[in-house]
Structure 1
Amino acid sequence: MEVLKVDIHHAGYSGRQDAVQDIHFTLNSGKLVGLIGPNGAGKSTTIKAIINLLPELAGNILFMHENKTCAYIPEQPVLYDELTLWEHLELSAAAYEMDREYFIKRSEELLFLFHLTDVKHHFPGSFSKGMQQKLMVIIGLLIQPDVYIIDEPFVGLDPRATMQFINLLEEEKTRGAGILISTHQLDIAERICDDIILIANGKLVTQGNLEQIREQCRLPKASLFDCFNSILENA
């Protein structure tokens, strides 16, 4: 079942309205789609267009059901200096009108998994980049939305936190969430993504599962890394 349909004719900023062009894809329930491309390809711009953070957008972004919830996990943590870690979670729970008993249970589970229980009443301004990124991940996972939009989540995460996050994403897929994740970590993308969208120079170059991309490259046993380089060389 489709949960998100993206039809971007062009989108961008004042003075550069066509930073990305002709980006068309759908996201289905229970699927994890990887958005990959070189630096400056337009991945983050595409994500900002989807969540309505761009001043210029020609096209349609359609969340398929009116009451669908969406969680956005940005590449750079966005936190409030005056709120503790726990208060950030409470703020998110209040925004989504979460049941108090469920909120406490879910929060404590996630804090334990990401080894942040001991600092839950501390201010995130004193945290490392990795700890701040864990908090952003926890906030996204807390509400268990129908759609996840995630931009470079593995930057700053240690291997243990990365594995824990991947496991939780698998659980969310099983629950039925649709997940769009932008990443430069091609080895991780190859492992966890059901489908891949490759963007270069602001345009969608190819999309499909790994087998389909291998067919396009005529590299039947190639890694995603090798396919990525082959496609870009011929783009």
Structure 2
Amino acid sequence: MTAFDDTLQRPRTLPCGHTFCTPCVNRLTERGQVMCATCRLGHPVPEAGQFPINFTLEAFITRGSDSDAGSTSSSPRMARRAKGGVKGRGSLGRKIRSMLQEQEAKVVAALDACQKVQSQLAQYQRTLAGWGSHQQQLEDRLQSVINDSKSARVLVRQEEVQVAVKKEEVQQEEQRLHGVLDVLRRVATEEEAGVAVVDVVRCTHDAEEILEECRVMLPDVHTVTAARRVSGSLGA
């Protein structure tokens, strides 16, 4: 990796914690993702287009250049900046210079904290987006179950109506059979017996037809299956 500086090759920190210079990060970028060359983790490029600058490391680089202004610098611009810095603060007293360095350190620390929090917020934002997508999938599945439940409820309601009708018909036939039975028990002549037998044949035939219709209807497999399928989906 190329050495860091405070101009073109500024240090940038990936969410995994590893730091690379700006050109190196750009070279690692592919299809909106950056693959860390150290841990091989993939990170989406932030909306701003760049990962946060490591201000702590950059401040360390700047201080190193200030203390070594007369020696070889990592770039001509840093050498000029270092010399200018020494000359600019040379007229200040030691306490003032020390105070300025302390304040600079505070600002750099605050900048570094801002970058770290932004990175954490971006990561949390992506996590929330994933949770939101998962919740949407759950809602879609739940809506599908609700739709199936409504269809099953319609079938059940239709079946309830038919059952109520058949139940009333069976009750009516039961009353007719009781009436025929009473007539049979009161027969006193052959003529009454003939009439009673005809009534028995007719009533028992009608009753058997209705009972057969009820047997066919009990149960309606399609309705029961639909209701059970919905109940199973809800874990009931």
- On whether the aligned pair clears a TM of 0.5, the verdict is no
The structure whose Rg is larger is 2
**1 or 2 for the larger relative contact order (CA 8 Å, sep ≥6)?**
1
* TM-score interval, normalised by the smaller of the two chains: under 0.3
Q: Which has the higher strand share?
A: 1
**TM-score normalised by structure 1 residue count:** 0.24
